[in-house]
Amino acid sequence: MRITGIAIVPPPTAADCPKVTPELLASVLARYSRSNEGIATILSKVDLANPDASIDRILKFVDYGHASIGGLTGGLAVALDDVSMWLAYKIFEIAQMADGQESSTRYITMDAANVPSAEELGVPADLAARWRDVLARAFAAYNSEYARLDALAVAEPQRVRVPADAKPAVVARLRKNYALDRARYFIPFATRTNLGLVQSSRMWATTVKHLDSLPQPEARAAAALIRGELLKQSPRLMRYSVAEKSFEEQARQEFAASLALGRERLSSGPLADEVWVHVDRATPPFLPESQSVAESLRHRANRYGQQGTATRRMRVAFAWNNMALAELRDLNRHRTGHRYTPLIQAGFYLPPEIDRAPHAALLADQLELTRELMARGSPAYLYSFLLGAQTPFEHTTQADKFIYEAELRTGMGAHFRYAEHLSAALRGFFGQVPEAREWVVEGTAEPE
């Protein structure tokens, strides 16, 4: 695992703009909100060569008493190399206000050597050999299925739905993606990936505090490394980002609940699709909604257009019983609202193009390894999962954000399984908000 903080410098076109460090920016803007001096007067007290003294002259930063000051630091960028896919998922779950990207499974090395060690992940020593064997066989299954599916796409090009006017390079890319996106359910959740996030000191401090309170040693190691990098840019705010009782207690309770539900539902069989959608259109009696859903939606040129109050005020909760981790990694990165999963294996998804029979022994051994880890109460049970593991997943947000996500995840270039899940959620939404059907653009996940 390598953690790198990335400092932002102004471009040449901003040479005449005032220059501040992240915490200087926060202190200056905090003072600005409590003063009528004007920004130029406050900035005149800044000595960039001695930023700590400048902060102290402006205000006592750590004694100011408002966590919101930490949000004024601007975006602090951190790159995390060679962390497990589980840790990347968890950071995106925690950092719900971050902007970030994770490496696509289309570009990660698929090899048994590309996972952290059992010791780093807290896999019990007496189970480490079994764990490594299951992961090595999973990578072998991935590579063999990729080769078979790629050959199938060559032999039966209609499967890939290549546009009629596509150039050879586009045809080759779409064929490759067809195979990659169907073989990926064999990828271990422990596989190394990379991610980069940008968020304020306030949100980084919360993220690091949360990571430091989790039972997984990988999370705590990442917390220490991230804190060390960000102390260089925001020392006052980050030095308090350590494990805290409320975070630890909630992590303990959620872990216990996941273990109980996981042991109850543990399975490697395919879990049939179920979707649940709940729409709440209630408004206060003194502030009713006057706009129609049609007026909220019909003026958009595309999904990025502004929606009206009729959908922005409407609450939507939607959940699936069987979201494979392969799709969870991406849907979990939609930042709005709250996302929740117990992160269990209640089933195992494979696309119709893959016969389960040749992989029965692998799936049975993987399941028994997971069962043993859960029976021991080991936080490392997560690292025995493959991306085909199916878990319940719930997202609560507003209707405008749900509509954006549904249009995005069924639109051009969307993964075929995203489209199935979001199309099902849309049907549930239209059942409760039928007047939206005419104005929501449900795609067909056609190749881009």
| 431 and 304 assigned to the same domain | yes
Number of domains within the chain:
2
Q: Out of 225, 243, 261, pick the residue that ends a domain.
A: 243
Of residues 118, 90, 86, the one with CA closest to residue 369: 118
Q: Out of 215, 243, 271, pick the residue that ends a domain.
A: 243
Is 8 part of a structural domain of the chain? yes
Is 132 part of a structural domain of the chain? no
Distances (CA, A) of 394 to 316, 319, 321, 391, 436: 11, 4, 9, 10, 22
| 256 and 310 assigned to the same domain | yes
pTM given for the model: 0.90
Angle at 398 between CA 429 and CA 335, to 5 degrees: 115
Is 175 part of a structural domain of the chain? no
Is 360 part of a structural domain of the chain? no
- pLDDT tens string, the chain, 448 residues long: the values are 999 998 888 888 888 887 777 777 777 777 766 677 787 877 777 766 676 666 665 555 444 445 566 666 678 889 999 999 999 999 999 998 888 888 887 778 889 999 999 999 999 999 999 999 999 999 999 999 999 999 998 898 888 887 777 788 888 888 888 898 899 999 999 999 999 989 888 889 999 999 999 999 999 999 999 999 999 888 877 888 899 999 999 999 999 999 999 999 999 999 999 999 999 999 999 999 999 999 999 999 999 999 999 999 999 999 999 999 999 998 888 878 899 999 999 999 999 999 999 999 999 999 999 999 999 999 999 999 999 999 999 999 999 999 999 999 998 878 889 899 999 999 999 999 999 999 999 988 766 5
Q: What is the DSSP-derived secondary structure letter of residue 281? A: -
Q: What is the DSSP-derived secondary structure letter of residue 26? A: H
Is 47 part of a structural domain of the chain? yes
| 7 and 62 assigned to the same domain | yes
Task: HSE, CB side, 13 Å, CA atoms: give it for residue 400.
Answer: 18
Is 60 part of a structural domain of the chain? yes
Residue 278's CATH number: 3.30.1360
Is 374 part of a structural domain of the chain? no
| 398 and 430 assigned to the same domain | yes
| 342 and 418 assigned to the same domain | yes
Q: Out of 243, 274, 305, pick the residue that ends a domain.
A: 243
| 302 and 222 assigned to the same domain | no
| 282 and 318 assigned to the same domain | yes
The pair of three-digit structure tokens given for residue 302, joined into one six-digit string: 């595309």
| 15 and 62 assigned to the same domain | yes
| 199 and 74 assigned to the same domain | yes
Is 41 part of a structural domain of the chain? yes
| 258 and 221 assigned to the same domain | no
| 219 and 318 assigned to the same domain | no
Domain that holds residue 220: 2-80+193-243
Token pair 């505090």 is at which residue?
209
Residue/partner pairs of 109-114 with CB below 8 Å, 24 or more apart: 109/192, 110/139, 110/142, 110/143, 110/146, 110/187, 110/191, 111/139, 112/136, 112/139, 114/191, 114/192
| 309 and 424 assigned to the same domain | yes
Distances (CA, A) of 64 to 154, 254, 438: 65, 33, 51
72 with 24: CB under 8 angstroms?
A: no
Amino acid at 29: L
Q: What is the DSSP-derived secondary structure letter of residue 250? A: H
Of residues 354, 343, 331, the one with CA closest to residue 384: 343
| DSSP per residue, 359-409 | GHHHHHHHHHHHHHHHHTT-GGGGGG-BTTEEEEEEEEEEHHHHHHHHHHH
